[in-house]
Chains A and B, each alone.
Chain A
Amino acid sequence: MTTVIEARDVSKSYGDVQAVNHVNLSVEKGALFGLLGPNGSGKTTMIKMLTGQTRPTGGTATVLGIDAEKDPVGVRGRVGIIPEQETPPSFLTAQEYLEFVAAVRKIPDIQKKADWWFEFLDFADKKNVLCKDLSRGTRQKLMFTQAFIHEPELALIDEPLINFDPIMQDLVKDYLAAYVKKGKTIFISTHILEVAEEICSGFAILHKGNLLHTGPVAELTARGEHLPSYFLSLVRKDRHV
């Protein structure tokens, strides 16, 4: 087994706010790893540190063997990222945005792949519309495409399902499950617990920046427990201490 993500004693504070508090995490190759937690628990901050978008105030984050703090561009060159807020540039069309991403990532022959994604996520009719005029759902489709179009060995995706309708959610869920079967790794943050239970192999629970639990989902199921109820009891207990 190879470790693709290794967080050692990682912390991040914004002034007085401790967004992430001494977290230790590791994710193996081929995992579909869910980062769970209520709003404001530090999931987005964690993903930003792992992808070199922000620097930890303590500890080290190693991704694919690269120190994310020392070489953020190196990490971002090898992974795929869906940020929490969908922000494709306003004045490019969807098609142009994918060309832009491909050019920056130096992926050759983008068009066939792009067309496959336009069909797969059902937005081919919008491909020549400016991003600022796209609906939220379509923008999310575009951001999803952008993260996977180069088939990265690791994708870190922040609440990717949030703007999708149930049909689209189902499609994407299946895509993610199949993606890790090819030996690739996915790190997903979500608060949709049912989805996490259904597709994730491992998970971690964050609350107020503290890591409450990390381990395989199978371990829970073997004990006859369900992820949603386990999550709720753990978070409620923590809220009272």
Chain B
Amino acid sequence: MFELFVAMLKEEWRVHSTMFGSLSFALFPVMIFGIAFMGAFLIPLMRTTLPAGNLTLIIHANYLMLGIMVGGFGLLGNEVMSRRFGQASFLSYSARSLPLSDRFIFTNFVIKDTVYYFFLWVFPFGFGYILASPFTGVSLARALLLLLTLTLSFLFGLCGVFFLSTVYARSRTVLWLVLLALGTGWGGFAAMTGMNPALFFPPMLLNSAFSWTNLLVSCAVLVILFAVAIVLFNPESVGSEKNYKDAFAPLMNRFSFLPHPPLAAKDTIDLYRSGSMIGQTIFSFLLPLAVIWFFLSLLGPFFPPHGLLFIFAITTGVVASTMYTWVTMFDSFGPYACLPVAVSTLITSKLTTFAVLQVIPAAFIAVVALLSGEAAYLVPAVVLGCSVSFYAVGVMAWLCGLSPNVLVYDVKVLFVYLVLVGIVLMVFTTAAFANPYYALSAVILVIPTWLLVQKAKTRWDAVDPAGF
């Protein structure tokens, strides 16, 4: 049934390209390619400040994180099958009227997504680097090796999270046990040897010294994780006619201090009942950040004292700003279209829910500050992280309204986003590096954030809402 796979790939391309415009979308891999190509020329320059090994480390960590973010299929499995496909009658859904098992369709879907994101993100980067290699004096073999190890990094993230998310969907207790085992193993190793286990990340080892054994073992681990995840995937639970107790009225009363209590109550119920609240927190927030922390901590010696904490607070802020997608992703404008609700009202209400969710990153940064023995800088770090998160979400709301996914696929929009957020990141990293207490100045971001949100509201009220 290779046809199903090819048809799904075509469909994915069409969905994205009609959503964002063929050109803008096709430019996306081109841009990644461009970044890698140009970036390759900067390497000698960067080497003067940062050893080459650390540069490859950062890139590998990025692709690992990318894999982690793409990999939550098991968590979203039923959601994807019943909602995304059910509503718009995509191929996966129509394929259900054919004599194919749900698991088979789902496997196809996962492989399709993997291949799709590989060509969208991983391949263009490796390719750009390869093309630049003759000019930068890097041997072709090394460039090819980088493509291979980046692909492995991406797949490690993807398969790892895919595995964990199917475990999560089956039993939360088992997931906690697995995470606990991994955590103790990791911590134990670090305590015993005094080394950061991230040093032994197989793709990194492979990158520094190629060996067939390592490659084979890596591939075997990936295949096993993937296969177990597919076996664990549970296609059941599409529609059970369960009775629920009325949660709406009490929640609305509790939210009476917010600007739009009924909308906030609805969002909360959505997040809770769809299982997104806990699942997303683990897989789109805690896990990527934990991984980043370990990789960043390898770079510690190259930062000024306390630099690591603030770099981490800023990264957390940027990742936390994507919580905006949690409240917008599984909602369409449909149910509001027949009610007296303006797009601007909805933006306000989604941002309010977002603001409430910021308790999670704030607590997270605080815990990291305490654990790393930098309690003195807890307040500036939390302020910096949260300010960055609110500012980034303001930019997102202004650029994309209620459809923040556009960000990832529309090159023009992404470019503006990167510039606007990038400048702020640079300014405040510099400030925090100079003196940890300067990080408090990030409070000033309240002003541009407020302006951006006002502009977002007028801008998105003036056009037809998407999603009809």
Which chain A residues have a beta carbon within 8 Å of chain B's beta carbons?
48, 51, 53-55, 72-74, 76-77, 80-83, 85, 87-93, 95-96, 99-101, 103-105, 126, 128-130, 132-133, 146-147
Contacts and interface: CB of A to CB of B under 8 A. Distances in A.
B435 to A, nearest CB: 47
Contacts of A51: 338
Nearest to A103: B262
Contacts of B242: 129-130, 133
Nearest to B243: A128
A126 B397 CA distance: 37
B246 interface: yes
Contact of B239 (A80, A88, A132): A132
A146 B252 CA distance: 19
A93 B246 contact: yes
A100 B266 contact: yes
B270 interface: yes
Interface in B258-307: 261-263, 265-266, 269-270, 273-274
A155 to B, nearest CB: 10
A101 B339 contact: yes
B262 A100 contact: yes
20 contacts: A48-B468, A53-B464, A74-B340, A76-B338, A76-B339, A76-B341, A83-B338, A87-B334, A91-B269, A92-B269, A96-B247, A99-B248, A100-B248, A104-B341, A105-B340, A128-B245, A129-B244, A132-B82, A146-B338, A147-B338
A105 B245 contact: no
- Closest 6 pairs (CB-CB, A-B): A77-B340, A103-B262, A87-B334, A81-B338, A96-B248, A91-B273
B458 interface: no
A73 B341 contact: yes
A126 B339 CA distance: 23
Given A48-B468, A104-B341, A85 B334 contact: yes
A104 B337 contact: no
Contact of B335 (A89, A105, A126, A129): A89
Given A76-B340, A89-B270, 15 more contacts: A53-B465, A53-B468, A74-B340, A80-B338, A90-B330, A96-B247, A96-B269, A100-B262, A104-B262, A104-B263, A104-B339, A105-B340, A128-B246, A133-B241, A146-B338
Most B C-beta atoms less than 10 A away, residue of A100, A101, A133 = A100
A101 B262 CA distance: 9
Nearest to B464: A54
B441 interface: no
Given A92-B269, A104-B339, A55 B464 contact: yes
A95 B82 contact: no
Contacts of B262: 100, 103-104
Most B C-beta atoms less than 10 A away, residue of A51, A88, A132 = A132
B331 interface: yes
A72 B342 contact: yes
Contacts of A82: 338
A96 B83 CA distance: 20
A16 to B, nearest CB: 15
A83 B246 contact: no
A51 B339 CA distance: 10
Given A89-B266, A89-B270, A99-B248, A129 B241 contact: yes
Contacts of A80: 338
Contact of A89 (B243, B245, B331, B465): B331
B193 interface: no
Contacts of B464: 53-55
Contacts of B338: 51, 53, 76, 80-83, 146-147
A128 B246 CA distance: 7
Contacts of B247: 96
B246 A99 contact: yes
B244 A93 contact: yes
B124 to A, nearest CB: 30
Contacts of B337: 53, 81, 83
A91 B272 CA distance: 9
A55 B345 CA distance: 18
Contact of B340 (A73, A85, A126): A73
B208 interface: no
Nearest to B260: A104
B249 interface: yes
B214 interface: no
Nearest to A156: B338
A83 B273 CA distance: 25
B277 to A, nearest CB: 12
Contacts of B345: 73
Contact of A88 (B83, B246, B252, B335): B335
A156 to B, nearest CB: 9
Contacts of A100: 248, 262, 265-266
Most B C-beta atoms less than 10 A away, residue of A48, A92, A99, A101 = A92
B240 interface: yes
A54 B242 CA distance: 36
A130 B243 CA distance: 8
A130 B261 CA distance: 20
B101 interface: no
Contacts of B341: 73, 76, 104
A184 B246 CA distance: 33
Contact of B342 (A73, A96, A132): A73
Contacts of A101: 339
Contacts of B430: none
Most A C-beta atoms less than 10 A away, residue of B265, B332, B334, B337 = B337
Nearest to A96: B248
Interface in B324-362: 330-332, 334-335, 337-342, 345
A4 B151 CA distance: 63
Interface string B451-468: 000000000000011001
A53 B333 CA distance: 10
Contact of A91 (B240, B243, B249, B274): B274
A163 B266 CA distance: 26
Nearest to A101: B339
Contacts of A129: 241-244
A83 B242 CA distance: 27
A129 B266 CA distance: 15
B266 A92 contact: yes
